[in-house]
Amino acid sequence: MEEKNKTTNKTPDYSKRFIIFLIAFFVVFVLLLLDGFGLFDGIWGTIGRWISFSLLASGCIALLILALLAFSNSQKVTVKKILNTDIFPLVDNVFDEREIVMNVNKLLRKKSGEKSAAVTFSTFKFKKEVFLRYGYQKESDVVSTIFFAIDKIKEVQPKIVYGYDYSDNFMIYIPDIVEKKIQALLEKLTELINNFLGENKIDIDFYPHYGVRIRNEEDISAETMFQTALIASDYGRLSSERGGIFVFNETMFMKNERIVSLARDIERGLQNNEFEVYFQPKFDLKLKRFSGAEALLRWHHPERGTILPAAFISLAEQSDLIIQIDYYVLDRVCKHIAEWRDKGLRLLPISVNLSKRTVFSANIADYIEQTIKKHQVSPLLLEIEIVESPSPYDVLYLLSTVKKIKALNISVAIDDFGTGFSSLSYIKRIPFDVIKIDKAFLSDLEIDAKSRGLVKEIIKLAHILETYVVIEGVQEYEQIKLLQSMDADCIQGYYYSEPLRPEDYLRFINDNKFERGKKGAGK
């Protein structure tokens, strides 16, 4: 895809422009001062002096404005340079969820009666397929490939606004369009995406489930347009494996009643304390003892029994329900730590996984601080796990959030490393304390030399960055021996323990066969 270079090579050197304008400003400013003291009166007289003074003053102001503009643009370019453009080439006019909603609302207010459409589609399942077949590098290429395809569509519809949300959904706003033209446009988009995927050596066809919300004359907001487009897309995924175009209509609410009912059940379950936090211990390979645990949620539904997160988290992530769930888990974990401390029981740091939406949509650092103060727990007993950012454009926001959390003396981990958009520049820029390597890397660790080499290099790089390495999803002793030889720090997985209820977790960490000095230590 040669367009990548076209996009990134056009960027002017704003830093040089800033320096040139700044030097010119100081030169003119010095001349202005000299003229003001009358040093040039012998050359052009008193009247000429005031004319030249006015011209020099105007020149100073103009050069200062140009210098400030160049500086502002240089900062934007600097933000782009910290991103790994090989993994996520930069495309102009790409918005995140907050920005696209804000910008579309502005457009809707300007042209209230204009027909337009909101389109959404998910890449979650497709990215998983690409990752399993080709690895994380190609998976990361999927998003940039789709962005380039949408950018190509802009040649036909130049006023398109598009972006990416925190749940692997693309969001497109198409102004001044009727329903008949949408089908042809989206079919062309699918064709372009698959062509670009082929050029990028990804031999898997992508069939999006396009959710479409048409806006006629009715007065609806951007939020409503995209939310209902998401409902249509979800409905499409339930209806068809081969993708298609699904235009929202009110009957989808009824046909999607199970999902709506589940969302209501989640809200009720949070109010009724139906959710319980389980704990999965983490074993330090060098200390030969358990060094912490991860908090994992289970839902004890009054009618459906125990429900695992996979059955409800993806739905919750489509709305602010996931923020409520994350807050609930944080509060429960701190409450458990306080209770165990008061009883004089063994305490290990507990890690809490935060969703993308919580990290990017809520003032999470303030909530964490309030919660640890509420339960009076040591921040050293808490660790926050953050999943990889859905977009490198959010790296500065994430950097700010991580710094705020670390300022509370809480360590921060990057979860599921290697399955999203992380790059060396990303993990170097953001001061993570822990890198958790996803279990997907372990699937063929014992039989594939390339997989072993890749994991070994990731561990080595993590240690260069002075981060602690946790390997997730380990189930076999052979895997542990290999990972130990690669200098991994810590193991989390069913080999040591499944996620345990609080009372079972306390019994386990106080009486188990794995810790130093006990029979079978480390085995």
321-369 pLDDT per residue, tens:
899 999 999 999 999 999 999 999 999 999 999 988 888 766 899 999 9
**Of 153, 152, 151, 128, which is closest to residue 140 (Cα–Cα)?**
128
Residue 4 has pLDDT above 80, yes or no: no
**How many of the other CB atoms lie within 10 Å of CB of 45?**
11
Q: So what's the pLDDT on residue 76? A: 47
Q: Has residue 162 got a pLDDT over 60? A: yes
Using CA atoms, how far residue 45 sits from 51, 52, 191, 246, in Å, is 10, 10, 73, 78
How many other C-beta atoms are found inside a 10 Å radius of the C-beta of residue 132? 11
Instruction: Count Cβ neighbours within 10 Å for each residue of 60-79 and write b for 16 or more, e otherwise.
Output: beebbebbeebbebbeeeee
Whether 287 has a pLDDT exceeding 80, the answer reads yes
CA distances from 350 to 199, 203, 296, 335 (A): 45, 41, 10, 12
pLDDT band with cut points at 50, 70 and 90 for residue 79: very low
- What gap in Å lies between CA 442 and CA 444, rounded to an integer? 6
Average pLDDT of the chain to the nearest whole number: 82
Distance CA 240, CA 114 (A): 31
DSSP string over 265-312 = HHHHHHHTT-EEEEEEEEEETTTTEEEEEEEEEEEEETTTEEE-GGGT
Give the span between the Cα atoms of 250 and 246, in whole angstroms. 12
Bridge-based pairing state of the strands 169-175 and 116-122: antiparallel
Count of all residues that appear for the chain in the document = 523
Which amino acid is residue 231, in one-letter code? I
Write out the two tokens for 51: 């004319």
- pTM of the model as a whole: 0.60
pLDDT over 90 at 85, yes or no: no
For helices 321-342 and 257-271, the axis angle rounded to 10 degrees is 30
The closest alpha carbon to 521, from 361, 266, 316, 290, belongs to 290
> 330, 337 in Cβ contact below 8 A?
no
Q: In the predicted model, is pLDDT for residue 58 greater than 50?
A: yes
Residue that the structure tokens 């003074």 belong to: 53
Of the candidates 427, 363, 418, the one whose C-alpha atom is nearest the C-alpha of residue 395 is: 427
Which residues does residue 194 pair with via DSSP β-bridges, in sequence order? none
**Mean pLDDT over residues 142-155, rounded?**
88
Q: Which two tokens stand for residue 132?
A: 């399993």
